[in-house]
């Protein structure tokens, strides 16, 4: 009797994980109350088995409250917190999981008296998050954590958990309804049934955490223009439709110099950012972005997200950094890295990058730049720099001053603001060299 404590976790081997209806940061585990480990959930009436509540969502702390049912009862007889989890704010991201009944089970190798760690890491900026499961059973005199399962997949397509080469658990692809997933855990799994559910939750948490709330949101398709026709106005404006994708050739007639009326019209251009010449003589610019709520034409906040400073004119070297880089957990997130814009004497150029939080000490080239701001710029990538990743169009002088279109493709190795800043400093270097 001592081997199974009354309040030990009883999450079944087969269950569904879905978001709470009322609290989107919380999750529900449901299954048939007495489902067979190999029985599917389709067509059965589901019973809530646990609530996974975000105690402090910003710090990644969750509490798992389970509902316990008597053999033939439809209503639970009691509810208890059986586990707690918290994530360390560092990279690789490590989640520690502790069961509250650690000291109440006699068997020192019982999974519920062991500690578990979920370890998440990335190998490059454009790669999926990877992870594995570690375990330590202190009652069995184990002092160190060791690997018990490798994980493959992602939160959209589902996960597979392996012990050596054997598949021991699966998480189905995500469904639109409350982000529901089906989870199945084998009897011989080296971890308790709760672990795949928590792995899925923290994987999603890390994806959202990788993008701070006030992170740059410059779209991939936009227009860049001078702020005005005045010769001593060195500011630039970035405009686009708020959320609707558009063909640039279809919206020329919608552009205007008057920022105050940009929000009117069915597909009117909206000011997304101002590139301010904070100290023009020293070549210091700041990017002030405007943040909009979904479906709203009025911005709810404006923040400085990017800073750029010129270091030299020959060759032209500009350093670019993002003000929220320290808030991004993913060290390979593009906004967590630093950039250099290089302008050679013939006005060919390069984009260089360094991700210090990914332990990169030196800047290295990620893109070659050719062309001019007048005729258009081309940003190419690849070993032979033959793949076009971004471009700007030739300058159009009417109806807006020196307007050009900007396109940034999905696999571009730098944030969407970089082509705009490269254009701004191209003009600066050409004028002041």
- 426 part of a folded domain: yes
Cα separation, 96 vs 115, in Å, equals: 8
Percent of the residues in the chain that have a pLDDT greater than 70, as a whole number? 78
The reply to whether 189 and 278 lie within a common domain is: no
**Is residue 328 located within the same domain as residue 351?**
yes
What is the number of domains present in the chain?
2
The answer to whether position 249 is within a domain reads: yes
Question: How many percent of the chain have pLDDT more than 90?
Answer: 43
Examine the domain organization and report whether 170 and 73 are in the same domain: yes
Decide: 189 and 169 in contact? Cβ < 8 Å.
Answer: yes
Q: Are residues 131 and 250 in the same domain?
A: no
Domain-located, residue 205 = yes
Note whether residue 315 is domain-resident.
Answer: yes
Q: Are residues 201 and 246 in the same domain?
A: no
Q: Are residues 297 and 234 in the same domain?
A: yes
Residue 139: C-alpha distances to residues 95, 106, 113, 233, 380 (Å)? 21, 9, 7, 71, 57
Domain holding 41, by residue range, is 14-209
316-340 pLDDT per residue, tens: 999 999 887 556 667 778 888 999 9
The verdict on 85 and 183 lying in the same domain is yes
**Overall average pLDDT of the 115-121 stretch:** 93
Q: Where are the beta strands (DSSP E) in 60-191?
A: 61-69, 76-87, 93-99, 115-121, 130-136, 146-154, 158-163, 166-171, 181-185
Instruction: Identify whether the C-beta of residue 393 lies closer than 8 Å to the C-beta of residue 286.
Output: no
Same domain for 132 and 262: no
pLDDT in tens, 222-246: 999 998 877 778 999 999 864 433 3
- The mean predicted confidence, pLDDT, of the chain is 81
Residue 160, in any domain of the structure: yes
pTM of the model: 0.57
Is the domain of 170 the same as that of 39? yes
The span from the CA of 371 to the CA of 391, in Å, is 10
Give the domain-ending residue among 159, 183, 209: 209
Residues 269-305 pLDDT 10s:
788 899 999 899 999 999 988 877 666 666 666 788 8
| Domain-terminating residue out of 188, 209, 230 | 209
Residue 4 lies in a domain: no
Please check whether residue 7 lies inside any domain of the structure.
no
Last residue of a domain, one of 209, 238, 259: 209
In tens, the pLDDT along 334-385 reads 888 999 999 998 889 999 999 887 888 999 999 999 999 999 999 999 888 8
Say if residue 143 is in the same domain as residue 241: no
Structural domain includes residue 5: no
Report which DSSP code applies to 114.
Answer: S
Say yes or no: 235 and 371 in one domain.
Answer: yes
pLDDT in tens, 191-210: 999 999 999 999 988 877 66
Same-domain status, 152 and 248: no
């Amino acid at each position: 009797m001592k081997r199974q404590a009354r309040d030990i976790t009883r999450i079944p081997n087969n269950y569904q994980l879905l978001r709470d209806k009322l609290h989107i940061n919380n999750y529900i585990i449901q299954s048939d109350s007495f489902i067979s480990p190999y029985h599917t959930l389709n067509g059965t009436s589901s019973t809530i088995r646990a609530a996974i509540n975000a105690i402090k969502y910003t710090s990644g702390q969750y509490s798992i409250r389970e509902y316990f049912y008597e053999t033939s009862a439809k209503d639970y007889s009691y509810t208890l917190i059986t586990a707690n989890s918290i994530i360390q704010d560092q990279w690789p991201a490590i989640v520690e999981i502790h069961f509250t009944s650690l000291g109440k089970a006699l068997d020192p190798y019982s999974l519920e008296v062991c500690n578990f760690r979920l370890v998440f890491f990335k190998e490059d900026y454009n790669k999926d998050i990877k992870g594995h499961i570690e375990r330590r059973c202190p009652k069995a005199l184990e002092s160190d954590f060791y690997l018990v399962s490798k994980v493959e997949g992602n939160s959209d397509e589902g996960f597979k958990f392996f012990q050596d080469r054997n598949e021991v658990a699966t998480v189905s692809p995500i469904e639109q309804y409350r982000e529901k997933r089906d989870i199945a855990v084998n009897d011989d799994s080296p971890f308790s049934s709760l672990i795949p559910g928590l792995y899925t939750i923290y994987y999603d948490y890390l994806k959202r955490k990788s993008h701070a709330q006030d992170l740059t949101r410059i779209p991939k398709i936009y227009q860049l223009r001078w702020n005005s026709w005045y010769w001593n106005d060195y500011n630039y404006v970035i405009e686009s439709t708020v959320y609707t994708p558009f063909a640039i050739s279809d919206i020329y007639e919608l552009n205007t110099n008057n920022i105050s009326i940009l929000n009117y019209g069915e597909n009117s251009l909206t000011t997304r950012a101002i590139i301010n010449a904070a100290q023009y003589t020293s070549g210091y610019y700041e990017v002030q972005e405007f943040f909009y709520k979904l479906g709203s034409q009025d911005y709810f906040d404006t923040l400085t997200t990017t800073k750029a400073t010129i270091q030299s004119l020959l060759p032209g070297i500009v350093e670019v950094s993002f003000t929220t880089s320290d808030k991004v957990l993913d060290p390979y997130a593009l906004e967590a890295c630093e950039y250099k814009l290089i302008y050679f004497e013939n006005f060919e150029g390069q984009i260089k990058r360094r991700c210090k939080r990914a332990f990169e000490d030196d800047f290295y080239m990620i893109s070659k730049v050719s062309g001019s701001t007048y005729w258009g710029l081309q940003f190419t990538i690849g070993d032979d720099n033959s793949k076009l990743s971004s471009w700007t169009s030739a300058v159009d002088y009417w109806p807006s001053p020196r307007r050009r279109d900007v396109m940034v493709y999905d696999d571009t190795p730098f944030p969407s603001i970089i082509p705009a800043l490269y254009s701004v400093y191209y003009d600066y270097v050409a004028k002041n060299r």
